[in-house]
Every structure is written in C-alpha cells, then in structure tokens.
Amino acid sequence: MSPAFAELIGTMLLVILGDGVVANVVLKQTKGNSAGWIVITAGWAFAVTFAVYCTSAISGAHLNPAVTVALAAIGKFSWGAVPDYVAAQMAGGFLGGVIVWLAYLPHWSVTESKADKLGVFCTGPAIRNATANLVTEIIGTFMLVLGVLAIVSPANLVPGSDFAKGFSPVLVGVIVWAIGLSLGGPTGYAINPARDLGPRIAHFVLPIAGKGGSDWGYAWVPVVGPVIGGIIGALFYKGFWPSV
C-alpha cells in the first residue's frame, strides 16, 4: 500500500467512526439517540486512535491536511508529497461520509432536522461569527499539532523500548478527546479540513432524504482555521524544542 493510499484509507476509517458516532446520537430512532456530547467526543477520540493504528506504519498517519502542511512547514515532511496526501485525505473523508450515509440509511427519512443531518457530515458554529469561529479552529488545531509533535518527540520515547511508540495512537486519541471536551463547544472542533470538507461534499451530492443545504458559506472556516492553527502549533513546537 502506498503512503497516499494509506492516508485515503485512514481518513475514511476516521470519518466512518467519527461521523458514525454523530449519526448514532443525532439521528432519530437509533440506539444511541440523544446520548450527548460525551459520547460524541469519546467516539471521535476512539476513531482517531483506530485510524492512526491502522496507518501509522505506512504513511505516518497524518489523516489531516492541517497536520501534513504543518509538518512540511517545519521541514518534517516533503512539500512535494503534500498534494498527494491532501487529495487522498479529502477523498477518504468523502468516502467515509458516503459509508456513514449507507450505514444509517433508514434513519435519514425519520429525522426531521436538516441541521442534524448536516451535522452528521460536517461541523457548524453554535453562534455564527466568522472571526470568532476561525479563532476557535485555530486554537484547537494549534493544540492538536503541538500535542502530536510532543508525543512523538524523541525526548518522550523510552530508549530501547517500543512501548511509547506503540502507545502513541492512544495518546493522540486522548488529545482529540481533550480538545473536543474543552474547545469543541463553539464550532464542533473540526480541526481537520478533510474531516469536514470531504463529508460536506458527500452531503451535497448524496440523495439524503429531506436534507437541506450544505452551508457552503461557513465551509471555509474549518479549512482555513485548522491550516493556520496547525502551522502555528508546529512553529511553536520547533521554536521551543529546536533540537528535536
């Protein structure tokens, strides 16, 4: 499997479980209907852990254009490989959205809320304020990239042991869980353009029963914000830990 294809598969797996838990909570007549925010944030954390374990040995498990661009910005990834990774991640996000639609096929028609249906696929603001929403996404992705780089820092690995490396995907999931619990309220913490834009496109093209618009006026926020936040997080990490 090529690294780019692994990114496609990994991002697809991420979205299947991540958007899947949202569908389970918000769609009507599911077993998990109205289970709440804790279930959603936990489901996304476990989704990240699962997807990272599946792909880290092949592609490094970026699974996020913001992470890919951030690593390239500090010289830890080739700029030449960025387009292939980002395209694969977007395609994986789209496919993941399609699979979630299929998994919950009977539940779209019995769910009245168009906003809930859209929310399965992509994020939206609790209070619509483009500047504030952008800042929230920047902060959340800053925390994500800073945390991931700290986890894989050689200084935090046990010499002569693979335990720390093997446990890293769990810790990445914990970071995502923490971000969701602490910073997810204003925007739904996209912190990943592929996780938001890929499924949003799926929502746009799929024949979802009773769906509304795909909110393209907001779609730029969970793309631009994470990219900016990721770059700042990577530069901050490099500035404080210049030897790693």
| CATH number (domain holding residue 20) | 1.20.1080.10
The pTM of the whole model exceeds 0.85 = yes
Q: In whole angstroms, give the CA distance from residue 137 to residue 112.
A: 29
Q: Which residues of the chain have pLDDT under 50?
A: none
Contact 119, 26 (CB under 8 A): yes
What is the pLDDT, as a whole number, of residue 164?
Answer: 59
What is the pLDDT, as a whole number, of residue 242?
Answer: 57
Q: In degrees rounded to 5, what are phi and psi of residue 153?
A: -60, 135
Tens digits of residue pLDDT in 66-93: 999 999 999 999 999 999 999 999 999 9
Domain span including residue 22: 3-240
What is the pLDDT, as a whole number, of residue 81?
Answer: 97
What is the pLDDT, as a whole number, of residue 50?
Answer: 97
Handedness of CA 183, 184, 187, 193 (dihedral sign): positive
DSSP SS3 for 244: coil
Tens digits of residue pLDDT in 192-221: 999 999 999 999 999 999 999 999 999 999
Contact 194, 93 (CB under 8 A): yes
Contact 13, 51 (CB under 8 A): yes
What is the pLDDT, as a whole number, of residue 243?
Answer: 57
Listed residue (134, 145, 195) closest to 172, CA to CA? 145
Domain count, the chain: 1
Contact 224, 135 (CB under 8 A): no
What is the pLDDT, as a whole number, of residue 114?
Answer: 98
Tokens of 160: 């002569």
DSSP annotation string for 193-219: HHHHHHHHHHHHHS--TT-----TTTT
Tally the residues of the chain.
244
